[in-house]
Amino acid sequence: MKNRQIAMLGGLLASAVVTAVITLRQRGLFLKGEVAQSGSEPDGDAPSRRPDAENRRSRQNAQVNGIRMSWFEEGAGVPVILLHGIPTSPELWREVIPRLSGVRALAWEMVGYGESIDEGRSRNISVACQAEYLASWMHHLGLERAIVAGHDLGGGVAQILAVRHPDLCKGLLLTNAIGYDSWPIASVSVLKAMAPVTRHLPRPLFSLLLMNLLSRGHDDAQKAKAAYHLHVQPYLDRSGAADLIHQIECLDVNDTLAIADRLPDLNLPARIVWGEADQFQTIDYAQRFVRDLNAELRCIPGGKHFTPEDHPDVLAEEIMLLVKSTHASGKRTPAGAPGDAADAETK
């Protein structure tokens, strides 16, 4: 019976791959030689795996409670922590960071994601655990209070951090974030249910699935293509689909449900930025966050899921408005931030 079920799931997967190919061809994203394989080079018009923008950023590493943690850092001033989701990494914020001014931008890499995939293999990397890993990292850096911006799973991490460690969070920005019972999305649930098959997917098929997922979450086809090349590579450099399935198997909706009734008690500056056309995290959840957090809402007409990549100008503007509002609220400048450049930029 088990073998029969696996065979049926394999048939469903094959159907999904065919659908993905058709969809991607229609959108002009699936080109000859486009699907990355381990050790292959991207097309000439695709971004290299180590773009110049990354060279200008500073990737930092530190051992925190026995875990090698990694992050990008740029600038000086009020600390702004940027959190990514699945299947991305701190690279999600690559176009937002240069648009920020007077802040110390720290794009933290969740344990078990991106270049830190290896650190997550023997650990629980649930959203709730990520919030505790993040808190430990902040204590390690001496960041007593920071503005925290989160996308997708990172938004869930940000909510849990704010509830369980209110001393660490000075302001909260959520963009197309998970919350309440909004997740896991259907695609992720299917991948989890098909884990006996999907964790052993050949790399070309795995690449197709990841390309399809990213394509459906972008409203800009070229940015979807660039995002694919950046985000697929850490998986292909390691165990491919098996690493994605480990990430998925650690997800538990109870992590956000457990703190949902405490969101109205946070009483901190908050802003919500949402792509209105997101089919993964729909706009009704943004409106719920607005009510519970007493937050400002910025809708992006036609915007889909991966807002930091498709609309970096909007995200940067909203982050700076949050910096300004927290400064105006009279809260003290966070410890651990080198300099106070944000004061001059946000007055």
- Domains of the chain (ranges, CATH numbers): 51-182+253-346 (3.40.50.1820)
Residue 23's pLDDT is 52
At residue 321, the 3 state secondary structure works out as helix
Q: pLDDT per position in the chain (347 positions), as tens?
A: 455 445 545 544 554 555 555 555 555 554 444 554 444 433 433 433 444 444 456 799 999 999 999 999 999 999 999 999 999 999 999 999 999 999 999 999 999 999 999 999 999 999 999 999 999 999 999 998 999 999 999 999 999 999 999 999 999 999 999 999 999 999 899 999 999 999 999 999 999 999 999 999 999 999 999 999 999 999 999 999 999 999 999 999 999 999 999 999 999 999 999 999 999 999 999 999 999 999 999 999 999 999 999 999 999 999 999 999 998 765 443 334 443 434 333 32
Cis ω for the linkage preceding 79 (within 30 of 0) = no
Residue 58's pLDDT is 78
- 61 beta partners: 70
Residue 199's pLDDT is 95
pTM of the model: 0.85
The CA dihedral of 339, 342, 345, 347, to the nearest 10 degrees, is -120
Distance between terminal CA atoms of the chain? 67
| CA separation for the pair 171, 159 (Å, rounded) | 11
Structure tokens at 305: 């899921």
Q: Which residue has the tokens 């930025």?
A: 273
Helix ranges, the chain (H): 2-26, 52-56, 117-120, 127-141, 153-164, 186-193, 195-198, 203-216, 221-236, 241-249, 254-257, 283-293, 307-310, 312-328, 341-346
